[in-house]
Amino acid sequence: IAGITQAPTSQILAAGRRMTLRCTQDMRHNAMYWYRQDLGLGLRLIHYSNTAGTTGKGEVPDGYSVSRANTDDFPLTLASAVPSQTSVYFCASSPDSSGANVLTFGAGSRLTVL
């Protein structure tokens, strides 16, 4: 089934540890995104990639990094996790980065930093 796969589904992490959230899509979409979702707030964009080999910073990029070595994969890395990074993380993709594109979301990764 075409879509986006995220891993892990859930993780508890000690503060200061490094963590990579994985995201893979099989729809050959050019654009990919990482969002975090916190109670009472809208989805906030962390980083994005309009095409393989390029990345850009979103609204809340500090403490996170991404890479886009190929079309399918878009991992998100927390270099040194802090409790404020406790959140649900959604990876999403769209055919391209123009305004009319519908986003397809992964199932999410729930991260708790203690």
Partner 1 sequence: GQNIDQPTEMTATEGAIVQINCTYQTSGFNGLFWYQQHAGEAPTFLSYNVLDGLEEKGRFSSFLSRSKGYSYLLLKELQMKDSASYLCAVSDSNYQLIWGAGTKLIIKP
Q: Interface with partner 1 by CB under 8 A: which residues? A: 40-45, 58, 90, 97-100, 102-108
Nearest to 35 by CA among 96, 99, 111: 111
Closer CB to partner 1, 3 or 14, in the complex = 3
Smallest distance, partner 1 to C-beta of residue 105, A? 4
Smallest distance, partner 1 to C-beta of residue 80, A? 27
Indicate the residue type of 91: C
Closer CB to partner 1, 14 or 100, in the complex = 100
Smallest distance, partner 1 to C-beta of residue 12, A? 17
Q: Do 93 and 108 meet the contact criterion of CB atoms below 8 Å apart?
A: no
Torsional sign, CA 87, 93, 99, 100: negative
